[in-house]
A and B are shown apart, each in its own frame.
Chain A
């Protein structure tokens, strides 16, 4: 059941994005490995994810909710990592930039995080391992302050852990 599903996904991704092909085939392989229980648990899951995907943070255009094609390889790698580490769960944290009104910021952060969640599910990660949350514009985190800070916060951070997520309030 799962294999034809992934192949169908792979085909759609190959059609949709030429750069993604190299990222897709290993997905199946890792998925198979995970299914056999071969993966070791990383000592530092977040660092392991970043090492695999290059980053745990993807950015959006101001007011944007669509995934930038350039970050598809990153998200594909995140999906592979999650499949390879089946005991891990991920909290998909959406953020808005500072120039959104406060509750609209929560809504668009939620929408961005859901877009990432949907991508990961489409690429084989079980939905019950992913939790979508939105911080709106309340937790500026590592975004640099300054003249451009008003529009620099539109992002989604994938926070992984072995126990359903790190303590609350997330990345500060």
Chain B
């Protein structure tokens, strides 16, 4: 799918260019921002393969509102009583109308069908009180890709208001589980953050766990149990072509380096598990840890220069950081209980983890040196955190021991608000990543 970014001038006037830098935000760190999202405008209602531009504009508006409503950062104002803005008002809003419904922010936009068959879509975000534009973005998309443009419009609002990175134009890989608890079928699924575009990567005939995205979301690495021994497989999502990375051995816990050229993973030899690195074509295997204890769950820092992992070399499972060549290993977790399943935030500043203490598993975050630990969730079975591209939310799996079901949950890290991520079956072990631009 192509999604071309446009530099917008006045509404309807666009030229192909790089992204408009998002202007500094007007963040309200203590509360939610009330945002008004009137129906996107369309100057002429033209038919497209995905419905009329008016229909697309309405659907996009619902998706944008749904995206923003899914976080605690926004309250979407009720604008049903207000007239729909005219096309010129997309770029020249009547601010008093929006302040009248309590909105502090306003998102307007337009959908236009072009003669070349594509849609031109523009989104604008305003600070209603200061009566100024915060951010804008425009896209040229095939009509069928209107939903992705809506996610990008929601990201314009999210970044413009919070000052954080984009969040909604993102993909989630996870383990979809169905069948009886004693004989579950576990297969890898990928979807957009809002649950759309769900597809299954593995068939379910063989157990598969720990999916991890490559950068640019073109490949997935995962652990397959086909043949009996766990082993890491890399699959190209476009072609479906799979490659067993290290045939004939026990390997698991893969993680792509941010450049996509190599992976870190665990290899077990005679019961001892260490961390290795290997090129993404399976060549160049090199050992990074040599302890006689378990070293596993490697995850890269976003600059690729460091790896966080878990090890029980101290006698209990704890978190360690090392350089990407295995040097400089140092323990970073010193709080109560055990620590595992680390994940490094996209902005490089924090590490999320599972803390196992007092019979309960909880999600927390800490600085990369282990300071400023913050437990986000209450358990009793929350595990496998993954950061979103905005570095202000983590997704994780939560098991309900009453029902036996496991679901994906998402929470803000500054003001925890764990709430479920809708999936058709049980979901676990998420890997969340922003889409390439």
Q: Is the CB of A103 within 8 A of B253?
A: yes
- Minimum CB distance partner of B315 in chain A: A63
Q: A106-B230, A138-B186 are in contact. Are A132 and B210 (CB under 8 A)?
A: no
In the complex, are the beta carbons of A168 and B401 less than 8 A apart? no
A4 within 8 A of B: no
- In the complex, which of the residues B206, B310, B384 contacts A168, with contact meaning CB atoms closer than 8 Å? B206
From A117, A134, A150, A168, contact of B381 by CB (8 A)? A150
Verify if B340 is at the interface (C-beta below 8 Å from A). yes
Residues on the A chain within 8 Å of B424, using CB = none
A101 adjacent to B310 (CB under 8 Å): yes
From A21-29, A49-57, A67-75, A140-148, the one touching the partner chain is: A140-148
Could you say which residues of chain B place their CB within 8 Å of the CB of A150? Answer: 359, 380-381, 401
CB atoms of A115 and B271 under 8 A apart: yes
Question: CA–CA, A144 to B182, complex, Å?
Answer: 10
Question: What's the nearest-Cβ distance from chain A to residue B204, in Å?
Answer: 11
A112-138, CB < 8 A from B? 113-115, 117-118, 131-136, 138
Contact status A142-B271, CB under 8 Å: no
Query: Is A172 located at the chain interface by the 8 A CB criterion?
Result: yes
* Chain A nearest CB, measured from B427 CB (Å): 13
Asked if B206 and A101 sit within 8 Å, CB to CB, the answer is: no
* A103 in contact with B181 given A114-B271, A132-B271, A168-B227 (CB within 8 Å): no
Verify A102–B271 contact, CB threshold 8 A: no
Main secondary structure of the interface of A (DSSP, over half): mixed
Contact (Cβ within 8 A) A63 B266? no
Q: Give the shortest distance, in Å, between A109 (CB) and chain B (any CB).
A: 9
B429 touches A99 (CB 8 A): no
Interface residue A14 (Cβ < 8 Å from any Cβ of B): no
Residues of A within 8 A of B250 (CB): 110, 132-134
- Whether A106 and B252, one on each chain, are in contact in the complex, defined by CB atoms closer than 8 angstroms, is yes
Q: A140-B181, A146-B401 are in contact. Are A98 and B381 (CB under 8 A)?
A: yes
CB of A169 within 8 Å of the partner chain: yes
What residues on B are CB-neighbors of A106 within 8 Å? 209, 223, 230, 252-253, 266, 268, 296
Are B383 and A102 touching (Cβ within 8 A)? yes
B399 contacts across to A, CB distance below 8 A? 98
- Residues B429 and A102 in contact, CB atoms below 8 Å apart: yes
Question: What are the 9 tightest A-B residue pairs by CB atom distance, in nearest-first order?
Answer: A114-B271, A101-B340, A103-B253, A107-B273, A101-B341, A172-B183, A107-B294, A110-B268, A111-B271
Given contacts A104-B296, A104-B310, A106-B253, 10 further A-B contacts (CB under 8 A): A63-B317, A101-B297, A107-B294, A110-B271, A138-B186, A145-B181, A145-B404, A150-B359, A170-B228, A172-B182
- Residues of chain B whose beta carbon lies under 8 Å from any beta carbon of chain A: 181-184, 186, 206-207, 209-210, 223, 225-230, 250, 252-253, 266, 268, 270-273, 294, 296-297, 310, 312, 316-317, 338, 340-341, 354, 356, 359, 361, 380-381, 383-384, 399, 401, 404, 429
Of the A-B pairs whose beta carbons lie under 8 Å apart in the complex, a sample of 12, sorted by A's number, is: A99-B359, A99-B381, A101-B383, A102-B209, A104-B317, A136-B230, A138-B225, A140-B181, A150-B380, A168-B225, A168-B228, A172-B182
